[in-house]
Chains A and B, each alone.
Chain A
Amino acid sequence: MLRQSLITLGQYFRLLGLVFQKPTKQRLFMRQIRDEIYYLGVNSTAIVAVISFFVGAAVTAQIKYNIDSPFMPDYALGFATRKAIILEFAPTIIGIILAGKIGSHIASQLGTMRISEQIDAIEAMGINSANYLILPKIIACFIFCPILIMLSIVTALVGGWTIGVNVAGLTTYQYIYGIQFEHNSFDLLYAIIKIVVFSFLISSMSSFYGYNVKGGALEVGRASTKAIVNSSIAIIVFNMVLTQLLIA
């Protein structure tokens, strides 16, 4: 079991070694990144926005019902919502959603290419297939994940505002004052660092599972599941580690 995990880890790093090399054709590489940003990123905006909105609303409602007291200033609700969303909810939840959406997409795409010999065909032409197929995905994730996290934070705060104004009886001014209270730009950086790490875990791990599929369509499905489960676990573990490192 442990031995097998170490072997898998070794194969993972060896694949990364192949991935991080100079692309064969620079211009083509740029075009690929652009396409991947579209397929992986732009297509994820709707789901990120919807989920963030409702998570933001739920977080605000929880804070309101659980820690509401006459001693709490009006701006506390907005402030607590902001902290919770930027520091934990947005990075982790978006990480997990992307693990599901992007992870399964990448793993099944590469897995299908593997079993239908398309990866062999690329290799047979003298092209480093790992580099050609995987590097654009990783870079695209680096570029759009910080944008997605911003989108997520904004929509979650809007979700919180909906609850704050309609249910908790705040005015818009009080809520906005709350979310601006003791503004700390490190919090945002913190969220971005987290999502960048998560996006690397998602794109590289699901590429690893897809790229190494052996067998048929059934194995592609299995690789896709493995990619989602394992990158979600990795995200949760790294979230804890990063929280310790960055806060301490």
Chain B
Amino acid sequence: MIDIQHVNKSFEDKQVLFDVSIIFEKGVNNLIIGQSGSGKTVLMKCLLGLLTPESGKILFDERNFVGADTKTLHDVRKEVGTVFQNSALFDSMSVLKNVMFPLDMFTEWNYIQKAERAIDCLEQVGLENVEDKMPSDLSGGMRKRVAIARAIANRPKYLFCDEPNSGLDPYTSSLIDDLIAELTYRHKMTTVINTHDMNSVLKTGDRINFVYKGHIAWQGTSAEILSSGSTELVEFLESSELTKRLLHKN
């Protein structure tokens, strides 16, 4: 469980997050949705300690992460798997090396064990026979899948995905959603997903947090989202043809 309490974050004179409080529960898909520029990535970077909020607390199972010493920071991060918005694969390493990287760093396994796990993770995201390719030889969607494989390689307790299905076709996108959801349930991970894909919101949104201009404007589940009563959220939902039709059917 991750408990975010009253987090504020600004850049120079521009405030991006305003008094954000969320509880991300274990074993469910926690979604953060909102328009481009609403602060989703900034919030996720605060969760990773890559950005430091001016005030507030972020508790990873009781361990406060804001202003923590380097050791606590690194200890918590070792339990986190992250998929960055633009994949962030290491372009000097092959796909296999990329997925093996967390294992290289944090396990004492031999090469065979690490390679087996890596290939298994690649299979889980639907990639085969790409182990020896370099990231620059892959399509955007494939890179994303490699990034997911790398994130889950070391069986993290917390999984953070920044728009895991942006740039993917609806079919692959839906596979990725199912995959993340299944991994979350199976490994009882605390999963946080940034997205503006309405399909995934309706399908895998166990808990949904709607961010509007840096404020948490609504919280609920995918079953409740169509009857939220929040004007900002309705406006956001209307921008997608899919949810717009559903809204008007109700």
Which residues from chain A sit less than 8 Å from chain B, CB to CB? 24-25, 28, 109, 112-113, 116-118, 120-121, 123-128
Interfacial chain B residues near A28, Cβ < 8 Å: 104-105
Question: Is B213 an interface residue, CB under 8 A from the partner?
Answer: no
Answer whether residue B236 sits at the interface, using C-beta atoms and an 8 A cutoff. no
Which residue of chain A has its CB nearest to the CB of B73? A126
A116 touches B88 (CB 8 A): yes
- Assuming the A-B contacts A123-B50, A123-B77, are A25 and B104 also in contact, with contact meaning beta carbons closer than 8 angstroms in the complex? yes
Determine if A124 and B86 form an interchain contact, defined as CB atoms under 8 angstroms apart. no
Are B88's CB and A126's CB within 8 A? no
**Which interface residue of A109, A120, A124 has the most chain B CB atoms within 10 A?**
A124
- Chain B: minimal CB distance from A86 (Å): 37
Our pick among A117, A118, A123, A127 for the contact of B105 (Cβ within 8 Å) is: A127
Q: Across the two chains, which residue of chain B brings its CB closest to A121?
A: B88
Once A123-B50, A124-B50, A127-B105 are accepted as A-B contacts, the answer to whether A118 and B77 lie under 8 Å apart by CB is: no
Partner among B76, B78, B84 whose Cβ is within 8 Å of the Cβ of A121 = B84
Residue of chain B at shortest CB distance from A116: B88
Question: A-facing mask of B16-48, CB < 8 A → 1, else 0?
Answer: 000000000000000000000000000001001
Is residue B90 within 8 Å, beta carbon to beta carbon, of the partner chain? yes
Cβ-closest chain B residue relative to A120: B50
Q: Assess A125 versus B77: contact at CB under 8 Å? Given A25-B105, A117-B86, A120-B84.
A: yes
Closest to A112 in B: B91
User: Would you list the 3 A-B pairs with minimal beta carbon distance, nearest first?
Assistant: A126-B77, A126-B78, A117-B88
Q: With an 8 A cutoff between CB atoms, is B194 at the interface? A: no
With A121-B82, A121-B84 as contacts: A126 and B76 at CB distance below 8 Å? yes
Does the CB pair A128–B74 fall under 8 Å?
yes
For the complex formed, measure the closest distance between the CB of B139 and the CB atoms of chain A, giving whole angstroms.
16
Which residues of A lie under 8 Å from residue B160 when comparing CB positions?
124
B88 close to A118 (CB less than 8 A): yes
A120 CA / B45 CA spacing, docked (Å): 9
Q: How far is the CB of A216 from chain B (nearest CB, A)?
A: 12
CA distance A112 to B82 in the complex (A): 19
Q: How far is the CA of A124 from the CA of B82 in the complex (A)?
A: 7
Which residues of chain A have C-beta atoms less than 8 A from B205's C-beta?
A: none
CA–CA, A109 to B92, complex, Å?
10
- Check if B90 sits within 8 Å of A118, measured CB to CB: yes
Pairwise interchain contact B74-A126, C-beta atoms closer than 8 A: yes
B75 interface contact, C-beta 8 A: yes
Contact of A124 among B77, B89, B105 (CB under 8 A): B77
Closest-CB distance, A17 to chain B (whole angstroms): 11
A sample of 26 inter-chain contacts (CB < 8 A) reads A24-B105, A25-B104, A28-B104, A113-B90, A116-B91, A117-B84, A117-B86, A118-B90, A118-B91, A120-B84, A120-B88, A121-B82, A121-B88, A123-B49, A124-B77, A124-B80, A124-B84, A124-B160, A125-B101, A125-B102, A126-B73, A126-B74, A126-B80, A127-B74, A127-B105, A128-B70
State whether A124 touches B48 (Cβ < 8 A).
yes
Q: How far is the CA of A113 from the CA of B91 in the complex (A)?
A: 8
B85-105, CB under 8 A of A: which get 1 and which 0?
110111110000000011011
Whole-angstrom CA separation of A126 from B50 in the bound complex: 11
By a CB distance below 8 angstroms, the chain B residues around A125 are: 77-78, 80, 82, 101-102, 105
